[in-house]
Amino acid sequence: MVLEALSSLPPLMSSCRMIHLLMMRLLKSLTSPINFTSMAKSSTSVSIIILFLLLHFSTSGNMMRLANAQAPGQGSWCLPRPSASYRELMDNMNYACNVVNCTAIRRGGPCFHPNSLINHASFVMNLYYQKAGRNFWNCDFKNTAVIVVTDPSYGNCKYDCTQ
């Protein structure tokens, strides 16, 4: 019963893919018939010990943690996905501008040019992300945004980045 539950769990993040594959291999060896004439008995014991250690470390918080969007000291910015629709970008801007100051994207502001929806949405969505605490959930915008580690600032238009 426990083995079935463990085998149905997807890997939590890409860095845990190896642990997931090891666990799947161990679960397969534990559930397959054992040939006592070979060394299967000792390999099964080793498999059980390894499985126990993996489970111990994964539940103690030492191995499986939520991945941050950046390395310590590295900046991160929130930008719209290229696949975001006009309506989604407008909704994101309306939502964010109710929380943050959007004067920089108005005519005469440092981020008005180029005068395009994608550029204005990029600036505003990032401003919201920075003000809200730079958590990955602050850059979701109904799955229309992505966190990047390359500064999108240009000319006089400086994208905030609180580290």
What was the pLDDT predicted at 78? 97
Tokens of 52: 């126990």
- Residue 142 gets the label, from left (phi > 0), alpha (psi -120 to 50) or beta, of left
- Integer Cα distance of 57 and 63 in angstroms: 6
pLDDT of residue 162: 80
Which of the residues in the chain have pLDDT under 50?
A: 1-15, 39, 60, 62-69
E-state strands within 92-141: none
pLDDT value, residue 65: 42
CA angle 47/51/57 to nearest 5° reads: 145
**Is this model's pTM higher than 0.85 or not?**
no
**pLDDT of 71:** 64
**Residue that has been written with the tokens 């964010």 in this structure:** 96
CA-closest candidate to residue 24, choices 39, 10, 38:
10
pLDDT in tens, 52-89: 556 555 554 544 444 444 567 789 999 999 999 999 99
CA distances from 37 to 32, 34, 42 (A): 15, 9, 11
Count how many Cα atoms sit within 13 Å of the Cα of residue 105 in the half-sphere of its side chain: 21
User: According to the model, what pLDDT value does residue 9 have?
Assistant: 46
pLDDT at 58: 54
Q: CB-based contacts of 115: which residues, under 8 Å, 6+ apart? A: none
